[in-house]
Amino acid sequence: MKRLLGVALGILTAIGGFLDIGDLVTNAVVGSRFGLSLAWVVVVGVVGICLFASMSGRVAAVSGRATFEIIRERLGPRAAGANLTASFLINLLTLTAEVGGIALALQLASSVEPRLWIPVAALALWLVVWRTKFSTMENVTGLVGLTLVVFAVAVFLLGPDWSELADQAFSPAVPAAEGHAVYWYYAIALFGAAMTPYEVFFFSSGAVEERWTVKDLAQSRLNVLVGFPFGGILSIAIAACAAIVFLPAGIEVSSLSQIVLPVALAGGKLALAVVIVGIVAATFGAALETSLSSGYTLAQFMGWSWGKFRRPAQAARFHLTMIVCILVAVGVLMTSVDPIKVTEFSVVFSAIALPLTYLPILIVANDPEYMGEHVNGKVTNALALVYLVIIVTASVAAIPLMIATGAGS
Amino acid sequence: MRVVRVLLGLAAVAAAAGCAVGSAATTVDEARALTAPLEQASSAVGTATLATELLGDGRSIAAVTDTALLDQVHVLEEAADAVATFVPADGTGAAWQADALTAVRDAQLAVADARGWANGAGADEAAVVAALDASATALDSLTATLDEVTGG
């Protein structure tokens, strides 16, 4: 019974923890401009993140070590350094976007200017990272983040024309008002939002934090293979809400305050309160994950002592890295930069850095020295190679498309 | 080598001249340039109307509507900036620009009034929504005129 509850909790937190500010914003923007014609990208992204997250979880469970430690040992400091640089910078950009997202969500509940919330959000973030147990932190934010299921409920309450939605999703076409370049630019942004690198580092380091072993492989797979696809369904629900309410009215989403309006239209004040709580939980949870990921990646590369299972004094540089990253995020946001713009750039730059993140994981997962009998099977490798092609194509096309489309404008 | 340098210099001068203010834009280009900020303004007014109606119907809270309206004030600022900095090539473009500026400024006023109402000041809900509707109609009408020129 206890085991079953553990599995259920793992799946529920994986669903609730799947969404972050990148998913919220990108799906709503895409829904308002393209309807569900880019829903297929979410499916492709979710399969990809399931593939690589389960791979990195397996590496951690079998070897008892996190991905970055092994990448440096297996590929040498130069290749691992390139991986670290790209991942760390993207992670910092994502952390900045998440802290901005918390502030914007709190503005929705209070009308208080986000710049006043940013230091508050950062302080709360640091306190939780410093004081709270890893499992408590992960479970609470994941479970509260589940309230975002209200987007799926809203889709039904809005009473859409289901055949039209199905037509958009299953016969995707570029809307007349949008060009092909913009369509593919947002396809890459959605793909980057679904496959954000920090999720994999967090998942692999979290496996070490929770002391997973080979015995936990089945539960790890279940968490990923059930939890993430349900998270993907919530992503599509966000896009559907925007497609139902905004697309016919010619409204383009450019702020977080617009994203909650379809939910209010469908379910009134109660649904609105629930969705605001969900957005705060999702952005706060993702900010915790990205803060920890910044500490994990640098500490694992440098060979420093790391982990929430250690007291802060025993992992001082790990904690210092997180504090510095949180302060940098606050510094950037206090310049009055629009957090939504930061989010939009973070998901595209995530897509650009994807090959540097995922290729090393694939190499390590195929190394019998670390994995023994648990190396990738033929089917996993075939699928991973297909994904590498997609990832490299998205990475190469992202910057030219960003320039050609004026970042999707 | 010298010839190459001269050619590179001429290319640079030509490129700079192409970027100069008052370039020979066609009527279609001008209509297209003004359509984008007008669509942006229409989107802002549409959002403002929805946020206002939700508050009026008791389906939203004042903080959410206020934030949504504030965000649309910023969107309209961007649209107004784009229209105001547009450089028309002839009288037709100048007339469109003047109409667009008026329409966007009316929209700014309507959204500002709606925000005042959401915060407990100003006119009643019906007047605020009527002003937003009138603004949306003006923006759509001008956009339709420009679409006829661009064939969009």
Per-residue pLDDT at B6: 63
- Record the tokens describing residue A59, joined without a space: 């590496």
Q: Which range among A191-200, A301-310, B24-33, B100-109 shows the weakest confidence by mean pLDDT?
A: B24-33
pLDDT score of B34 more than 80: yes
Domains assigned to chain B? 27-150 (1.20.120)
Average the pLDDT over B128-151 and give the result: 92
Tell me the nearest-neighbour CA distance from B45 into chain A, angstroms.
9
User: If you compute the radius of gyration of chain A from its CA atoms, what whole number of angstroms results?
Assistant: 20
- Annotate A149-182 with DSSP letters as a single string: GHHHHHHHHT---HHHHHHHHHS----TTS-HHH
CA separation for the pair A352, A221 (Å, rounded): 27
User: What is the per-residue pLDDT for B18?
Assistant: 53
pLDDT at A196: 82
State the virtual CA torsion across B137, B142, B144, B149 in degrees, nearest 10.
180
- Give residue A232's pLDDT: 93
Q: How confident is the model at residue B15 (pLDDT cuts 50, 70, 90)?
A: low
Which of the four pLDDT bands, split at 50, 70 and 90, describes residue B29? confident
Amino acid at A330: V
Residue B148 has which token pair? 């006829």
User: What would the two tokens of residue A158 be?
Assistant: 């809005």
Q: What is the pLDDT of residue A176?
A: 81
What digits encode the pLDDT tens for the residues B68-96? 999 999 999 999 999 999 998 888 889 99
Write down the pLDDT at residue A377.
92
Reply yes or no on whether the pLDDT at B151 is more than 90: no
Least CB–CB distance from B47: residue in A251, A272, A276 = A251
Extract the tokens encoding A395: 């990475």
Chain B residues whose beta carbon lies within 8 Å of the beta carbon of residue A251: 43, 46-47, 50
Per-residue pLDDT band for B25 (boundaries 50, 70, 90) equals: low
At residue A183, the pLDDT reads 95
**CB-CB neighbours of A306 under 10 Å:** 27
Confidence of residue B32 (pLDDT cuts 50, 70, 90): confident
Beta carbons of A20 and A291 less than 8 angstroms apart = no
| ipTM, two decimals | 0.89
For residue A2, the model assigns a pLDDT of: 65
Task: Say what the pLDDT of residue A279 is.
Answer: 95
Shortest CB distance from A108 goes to which of B42, B50, B63?
Answer: B63
Structure confidence at residue B10 (pLDDT): 65
Residue A16, pLDDT score:
62
Q: Which residues of chain A have pLDDT under 50?
A: none
Of B43, B63, B66, nearest to A252 by CB-CB distance is: B43
Task: State which residue of chain A sits closest to B40, comparing Cα positions.
Answer: A252
What is d(CA A375, CA A378) in angstroms, rounded to the nearest whole number?
10
Residue that the structure tokens 């936990």 belong to: A216
- Chain B stretch 47-66, residues whose beta carbon is closer than 8 A to a beta carbon of chain A: 47, 50-51, 54, 58-64, 66
Contact yes or no for A39/A270 (Cβ under 8 A): no
Domains of chain A: 22-405 (1.20.1740.10)
Q: Does B151 touch chain A (CB under 8 A)?
A: no
At A64 the three-state DSSP class reads coil
